[in-house]
A and B are shown apart, each in its own frame.
Chain A
Amino acid sequence: MTLKLGRHEFGDDATLMMAIVNRTPDSFYDKGSTWAEDKAFERVAQVVDEGAEIVDIGGIKAAPGEEIDADEERRRVVGFVTRVRAAYPGLVISVDTWRAEVADAVCAEGADVLNDAWGGADPRLVDVAAKHGAAVVCTHTGGVEPRTRPFRTEYADVVASAIADTTAYAERAVAAGVDRRSVVIDPAHDFGKNTLHSLEVTRRLGEMTATGWPVLVSLSNKDFVGETLDLPVGERLTGTLAATAVCALAGARIYRVHEVVETRQVVDMVRSIAGRRPPARMIRGLA
């Protein structure tokens, strides 16, 4: 399906790198390295240079921690979106927020995508997306509250739950007036899920892509990789890329990542193996 992400459109076969840019002092992977606005801006410049089509700007870490109200979240992200929009008119700007009031403010400054990592916790978010012509990422959390860790969460069938919840959210977004081409679904690895759940949604991602909705995967350095390989944050790239390959084979369209270059190479390689992308250049055996 053609993707319309705010003012940007992408063809049926496009895969997109969504680079994580945290305006937080405490996110798990970068631990505040881009908390200062200039550092975050440097990170944007770096990932653009590395070929990212999308930046995903977040003002609140996903895990529990210090309470960040909407005013503080706005202070962290709205002005930054303004600055990135002005500097990179061709870049897709996504903002990682579940709050409608924050979403409204960033869309007014040119954000293209609302990445609602908390599965529609604020029901007004889709109205904001519709109002601004923004895209929305519909995630599956199993119904948990924002910024909570999974606790003894069980499912009869985690993939069935992910498909039911994300497609229902997607239809709700369309009903609210969001362009059907601007709706993306995300099984949300680690969110409301233990490691076996995240492994299962990875293994069965093809069932999500078969819904026809474009699928985003956010795998980068997450705990399900760490637990699977018994590795701490900082040593999870190989595991992340293995999961990325499986999702690419299943047809995921958007990859939310810390490492742009490595992920792009894996996705391109897998798509070529699958026969969906020609090699960049071929002469071996043909000359």
Chain B
Amino acid sequence: MSTDVVLVPSTLALLPEYAGARDPIPDLRSACQDAVAWLVSRHASSVRVVAAPLRAEEVARGVTSPAGERIARHLLVAAGFDGRVDDAGDGVLVVANGTAKRTERAPGHLDDRARRFDAVIEEALRSGDAAALRGLDAEPAEELWARDWAALRVLGELLPGCPMELDYSDDPYGVQYWVGRATCGS
């Protein structure tokens, strides 16, 4: 049994309720759509979604649904998926990105550690270094606003030695986004 895994970022700009007249992330959106379409084509009946849970401050503001879950559902529906979202599927959609402190204009401003932190994650994705992902240190991740670290750790569980093909890797707004797909097992 093989597992197919797709990784997309958790930027709110992917959600239709935040759409302006002009798309600020056309290339990223296109890559997400292609990757999720690939996943849906192989797992039409059931997909597992892995996303960071609500943070305490979001709960305090009255948010009831994690952004990553909403993004996943939107991308799945847009790809024509009408199956179940549950934990049983061997098609997995992970919603996570890297740091948000890569440039002076980044949401979290510039932190010199951000690029190195993201580079470690990207190398782990490309090489299938599951241990590196599972061992992500939460403290610097939080400091660098890589708030999806928990989802990246789960991704490590899903990629035992499976390299991820990255369709997209860029930081157009100072936040590191990846779109990737991987197939693990036989």
The reply to whether the CB of A152 lies closer than 8 angstroms to some CB of chain B is no
Query: Which residue from A277, A280, A282 sits with its C-beta under 8 Å from B13?
Result: A282
B19 touches A287 (CB 8 A): no
Chain B, 9-34, CB within 8 A of any chain A CB: 11-13, 18-25
Known contacts A283-B13, A286-B12; A278 and B21 CB within 8 A of each other: yes
- Chain B residues contacting A277 (CB-CB under 8 Å) are 21
A287→B11 contact, CB < 8 A: yes
Interface of B is mostly: loop
How far is the CB of B186 from the nearest CB of chain A, in Å? 38
Cα distance A287–B11 when bound, in Å?
Answer: 5
Interface size class of chain B, counting residues whose CB lies under 8 Å from the partner chain: 10 to 19
- Binary interface profile of A, 242-286, with partner B (CB < 8 Å = 1, else 0)? 000000000000000000000000000000000001111111011
Chain B residues near A282: list those with CB within 8 A.
13, 18-20, 24
- B164 at the A interface (CB under 8 A): no
Measured between beta carbons, the chain A residues less than 8 angstroms from B11 are: 286-287
Chain A interface mostly helix, strand, loop or mixed? loop
Min Cβ gap B159→A in Å is 26
Chain A residues within an 8 Å CB radius of B12 = 285-287
Q: Mark B56-71, 1 if CB is under 8 A from A, else 0.
A: 0000000000000000
A281 to B107 alpha-carbon distance, docked (Å): 17
Residues of chain A within 8 A (CB-CB) of B21 are 277-281
Q: Which B residues form the contact surface with A (CB < 8 A)?
A: 11-13, 18-25, 100, 106-107, 173-175
Question: Which 8 pairs across A and B sit closest by C-beta, in order of nearness?
Answer: A287-B173, A286-B12, A282-B20, A283-B24, A286-B13, A281-B22, A279-B20, A281-B20
9 contacts between A and B (CB under 8 A): A280-B21, A282-B13, A282-B20, A282-B24, A283-B24, A283-B25, A285-B107, A287-B11, A287-B13
